[in-house]
């Protein structure tokens, strides 16, 4: 049971007044100071009191102000006077420390203005507390530097750089912007950045230049997804320009054309294939664009860099003058980024998280309004329950059951050579798996960052 209405055991409540929106609570510290804060002498006398207003956690939906009757003391040894230190109070902020903690945590889930109103402080105070909270969290939360890094983009009021761990599908950092300096500064401060082997990214020059400057050992790979997107966009441009020339009746004949044209041939249903066939007969340019789009996707079936080069060369030669304007972006991207696009065929790294990241982007643009960049960043990076850990020691293994009694000397009763161990016994039972030698370890678990699909689910469920 709480000792008093405040549930602050170091304080005695002297009076409670309840108003429409607020509680006004009179209180004092139970124990007076015992030593001089300057000379540690115990020879103190009271020197009057002063009232200090301290904000506390909201209670029963009302704001809480504690009016602490603070003792002033005089030291007989050094003659100096001082106010008693208040336990559990952040005196600089005139708040209980539990309120400071609560504001810090809440600012991840609620808007600054909402918290300011709930507690009865100004928004600037909430912002300052939140900045301290984030700085403190960051001291404790260190993500592993990804061996395979992804650099992407997310729109939070404006485009921001997103750093991911490609192998673990986790979010590692959100950068204020996508400038070379911002990215390079971040990479430069990264612990063991020389261990980063691959960086998968979009065709964004500042990303590339930052990586080349700061992590020259890392191989840059243009994400397959971003390259193929260009081919889909070329398909779309062609489709739109053809449609623009048509009358209403003709357009009706092209129902669901976007959906069908962006599908891969192998994924078309019989009905869709039939539709496509008809359109191609009526609009040969559309058919040609579809063929070109599909052929471009086919480059990614290549088994080696040389194979990919060859496929691209053939593809490029097959672009007709009529379609060239629509596919110009694809060609330009390939030309400008060739070594990095081709690097994929040496290291076929794909982002399993692209879909999660996209839904995250969509969700954040919906729920992100009213939040500062810092809050959105912290929301995602510090999301409770989203972090992906590994322990540097093996998982807890349940105690093994005693093997059932067998007539003969059990095979696993003594050392069994590796080959014999995998054989079932006479009645078809497999011997227990050998236990690995275990080394007790006290190392802290590694944290790989916030899991992207968990994040998307948390936001979807309104838990973030």
Which residues would be at the binding site for Zn ion (CB under 5 A)? 36, 38-39, 41, 75, 77-78
Nearest to residue 104, comparing CAs of 310, 323, 339, 378? 378
Q: How far is the CB of 40 from Zn ion (least distance, A)?
A: 7
Q: How far is the CB of 73 from Zn ion (least distance, A)?
A: 9
Is 33 or 410 the residue whose CB approaches Zn ion more closely?
33
Please classify residue 444 by burial: count the beta carbons closer than 10 Å to its beta carbon, then call 0-12 exposed, 13-18 middle and 19+ buried.
Answer: exposed
Q: How far is the CB of 47 from Zn ion (least distance, A)?
A: 12
Here the tokens at position 181 are 């300096």
Q: How far is the CB of 33 from Zn ion (least distance, A)?
A: 11
Q: How far is the CB of 72 from Zn ion (least distance, A)?
A: 14
Is 19 or 78 the residue whose CB approaches Zn ion more closely?
78
Is 37 or 447 the residue whose CB approaches Zn ion more closely?
37
Query: DSSP per residue over 3-66, as a string?
Result: SSTT--TTEEEEEEEE-SSEEEEEEEESSPP-S-TTT--S-EEEEEEEEEEEEEEEETTEEEEE
Is 38 or 47 the residue whose CB approaches Zn ion more closely?
38
Is 75 or 276 the residue whose CB approaches Zn ion more closely?
75
Query: DSSP per residue over 300-331, as a string?
Result: TT-SSHHHHHHHHHHHHHT--TTTHHHHHHHH
Is 36 or 119 the residue whose CB approaches Zn ion more closely?
36
In the chain, % helix, strand, coil (3-state, to 5) comes to: 45, 20, 35
Nearest to residue 193, comparing CAs of 222, 173, 169? 173
Cα–Cα dist 382/205, whole Å: 29
Cα separations in angstroms, 372 against 99, 137, 141, 382: 21, 18, 21, 15
Is 85 or 322 the residue whose CB approaches Zn ion more closely?
85
Taking the C-alpha atoms of 201, 202, 206 and 210 in order, what is their torsion angle to the nearest 10 degrees?
Answer: 10
Q: How far is the CB of 69 from Zn ion (least distance, A)?
A: 22
Q: How far is the CB of 81 from Zn ion (least distance, A)?
A: 9
Cα–Cα dist 416/422, whole Å: 10
- Give Cβ neighbours of residue 228 (< 8 Å, ≥ 6 apart): 296, 297, 300
Nearest to residue 377, comparing CAs of 172, 94, 140, 144? 172
Is 19 or 77 the residue whose CB approaches Zn ion more closely?
77
Token pair 């429409």 in the structure block, residue: 20
Q: How far is the CB of 32 from Zn ion (least distance, A)?
A: 15
Cα–Cα dist 228/262, whole Å: 11
**Inter-residue contact 169 to 352 (CB < 8 Å):** yes
Q: How far is the CB of 75 from Zn ion (least distance, A)?
A: 3
Is 81 or 265 the residue whose CB approaches Zn ion more closely?
81
SS3 258: helix
Is 77 or 420 the residue whose CB approaches Zn ion more closely?
77
- Give Cβ neighbours of residue 322 (< 8 Å, ≥ 6 apart): 285, 288
In terms of residues, how long is the chain? Answer: 464
SS3 189: helix
Cα–Cα dist 394/87, whole Å: 43
Is 33 or 287 the residue whose CB approaches Zn ion more closely?
33
């Amino acid at each position: 049971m709480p000792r008093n209405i405040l549930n602050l055991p170091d304080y005695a409540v002297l009076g409670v007044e309840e108003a429409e929106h607020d509680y006004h609570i009179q209180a004092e510290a139970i124990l007076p100071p015992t030593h001089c804060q300057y000379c540690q002498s115990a020879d103190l006398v009271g020197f009057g009191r002063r009232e200090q207003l301290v904000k506390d956690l909201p209670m029963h939906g009302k704001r809480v102000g504690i009016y602490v009757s603070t003792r002033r003391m005089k030291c007989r040894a050094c003659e100096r006077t001082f106010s008693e230190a208040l336990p559990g109070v952040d005196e600089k902020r005139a708040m209980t420390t539990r309120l400071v903690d609560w504001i810090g945590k809440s600012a991840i889930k609620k808007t600054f203005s909402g918290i300011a109103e709930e507690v009865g402080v100004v928004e600037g105070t909430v912002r300052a507390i939140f900045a301290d909270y984030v700085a403190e969290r960051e001291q404790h939360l260190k993500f592993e530097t990804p061996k395979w890094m992804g650099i992407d983009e997310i729109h939070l009021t404006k485009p921001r750089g997103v750093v991911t761990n490609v192998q673990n599908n986790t979010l590692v950092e959100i950068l204020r912007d996508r400038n070379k300096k911002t990215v390079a500064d971040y990479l430069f401060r990264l612990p063991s950045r020389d261990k980063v082997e691959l960086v998968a990214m979009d065709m964004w020059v500042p990303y590339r230049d930052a990586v080349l400057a700061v992590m020259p050992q890392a191989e840059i790979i243009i994400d397959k997804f971003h390259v193929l997107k260009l081919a889909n966009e070329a398909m779309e441009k062609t489709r739109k320009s053809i449609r623009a020339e048509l009358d209403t009746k003709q357009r009706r004949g092209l129902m669901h054309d976007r959906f069908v044209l962006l599908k891969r041939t192998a994924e078309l249903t019989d009905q869709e294939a039939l539709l496509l066939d008809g359109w191609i007969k009526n609009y040969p340019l559309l058919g040609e664009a579809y063929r070109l789009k599909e052929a471009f996707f086919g480059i990614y079936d290549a088994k080696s860099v040389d194979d990919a080069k060859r496929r691209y060369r053939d593809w490029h030669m097959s672009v007709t003058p009529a379609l060239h304007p629509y596919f110009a972006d694809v060609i330009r991207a390939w030309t400008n980024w060739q070594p990095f696009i081709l690097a994929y065929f040496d290291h076929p790294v794909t982002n399993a998280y692209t879909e999660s990241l996209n839904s995250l982007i969509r969700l954040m643009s919906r729920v992100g309004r009213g939040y500062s960049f810092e809050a959105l960043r912290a929301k995602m990076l510090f999301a409770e329950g989203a972090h992906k850990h590994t322990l540097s020691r093996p998982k807890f293994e349940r105690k093994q059951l005693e093997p059932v009694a067998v007539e003969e000397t059990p095979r696993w009763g003594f050392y069994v050579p590796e080959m014999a161990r995998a054989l079932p016994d006479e009645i078809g039972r497999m011997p227990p798996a050998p236990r690995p030698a275990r080394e007790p370890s006290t190392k802290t678990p590694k944290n790989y960052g916030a899991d992207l699909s968990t994040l998307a689910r948390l936001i979807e469920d309104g838990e973030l």
